[in-house]
Structure 1
Amino acid sequence: MYTTTAITLLVIMDPPGQVPVFLSLVGRRSAEYRRKAAWQAPLVSLLVISLFAVGGRAILAYLHIGIPALQGAGGLLLLLVALQLLMGLGGSTAAQVSDDVNVALVPLGTPMLAGPGAIAAVIVAVSQVHGDVPGYTAIAAAILTVHAVVALALFFSTGIIRVLRVSGITLLAKIAGLLLAAIAVQLIATSVIGFAATA
């Protein structure tokens, strides 16, 4: 169970793929802010995923929310971030908005790391254990391992900023925005397919 859960979360959360988005969002901030964001984002993700691991099915059932709804909401949030990166990161207004928002919480912690895919994967993994304590322990260890890998990837990526400079970060923001937009559209499309299948 440990290996399966860890590999699934690593593929979904994609630590190397988070690096360009992380750099594009924090590249213009101070070194202290970048180091803080590098551990805050995985910590937020860990808290959210742990919450859903413990009571995910009950939370979704109580609120009458399905996985397709989570996917649609995550897709819309990512699309807004993607549009900001593609069109507004270089402008003064966008820079002011970014300064007022802790990007380690949104969009890095959630929905980039603790997104619909990771939440659904954890809920499914927990539902397969059926009260087995070693199984729960294995899932918890897998979640901690994956978040440690993510934290290391983000922490060491801060050194790349010295090489990229402002022009490199601007280019990276455009590329990250395009990739995020594609991920967002895919999430929304998957959400629509999920709703259609349950209709």
Structure 2
Amino acid sequence: MELFISSVITLCLVMDPFGNIPLFISALKKVAPERRKTVLIRELSIALCISVAFLFLGKWFLNAFGISSYSLSIAGGIILFIISVKLVFSNDDETHSSPKEEEPFIVPLAIPLVAGPAVLSIIMILSAQQPNKLVTLAAVLVASVINSAVLMLSFPISNLLGKRGLAAIERLTGMILVLMSVDMVMKGISEFMKGGL
């Protein structure tokens, strides 16, 4: 149970729904209000399918390319560290690319904003380390539901918290992810030292 809760929290932090709110609002700004909910559900469903696929194919992926679990842990930690540093030192005045005229499809909402490199790396690490895939699957589903609930309320939450409130949450998330990324790298190094090449 402790591992399940830890996995859910980790995935929720890496998915960073509050940090993605401004990006989702930007991407959906020119989508008709009555279509936004449909587009969001579609994109979040695609992201979930990709995440579940990585969960079950993660071990095969590692074996097929001869990647050891400690290499994945170190690489995932580095990716997570880069993302977390960007969250901590993000510029409030930073402007993201303007949304396209047409509805966003898969890119950028499903990939890489929800099912990005860090999320997929974490899922593959959990898949490689957790023998019971059902526990990890449940963690992915719960984290996805929480992430989806926040993003479905993007516009109301943005209005409630304001720009500074969202920035504060984003920086706090970044600080937590920095610690998690360092821990992942250290665990990978520790595993390498124990097992060697």
Unaligned ranges ≥5, structure 2: 30-35, 101-106
SS at match of 2:115: helix
SS at match of 1:65: coil
Backbone CA RMSD of aligned residues: 3.9
Q: Distance in 1 between matches of 2:142 and 2:110?
A: 17
Q: Compute the displacement of 1:114 (Å).
A: 3.3
Deviation track 1:44-103 (CA, whole Å, cap 9, x = no partner) reads 2532432441x43332112110111111111111111111122233243xx347979836
Q: Distance in 2 between matches of 1:144 and 1:174?
A: 24
Matches within 5 A, 1:1-199: 8-9=3-4, 11-14=6-9, 17-18=12-13, 21-27=16-22, 29-30=24-25, 32=28, 40=43, 43-53=46-56, 55-92=57-94, 95-96=95-96, 102=108, 104-106=110-112, 108-116=114-122, 118-123=123-128, 142=138, 145-146=141-142, 149-158=145-154, 159-199=156-196
Q: Distance in 1 between matches of 2:42 and 2:62?
A: 28
Q: Compute the displacement of 1:151 (Å).
A: 4.7
Q: Which structure dedicates a bigger proportion of its chain to helix?
A: 1
TM-score between both structures, scaled by the size of structure 1: 0.67
Q: 1:180 to 1:87 in 2, by over 3 A?
A: same
- The equivalent of 1:133 in structure 2 is none
TM-score between both structures, scaled by the size of structure 2: 0.67
Q: Distance in 1 between matches of 2:72 and 2:163?
A: 35
Q: Distance in 2 between matches of 1:163 and 1:140?
A: 33
Q: 1:43 to 1:113 in 2, by over 3 A?
A: farther
Identity in percent: 14
Whether the aligned pair in 2 keeps the contact of 1:81 and 1:107 (CA below 8 Å) is no
- Count the aligned residue pairs: 181
Q: 1:85 to 1:98 in 2, by over 3 A?
A: farther
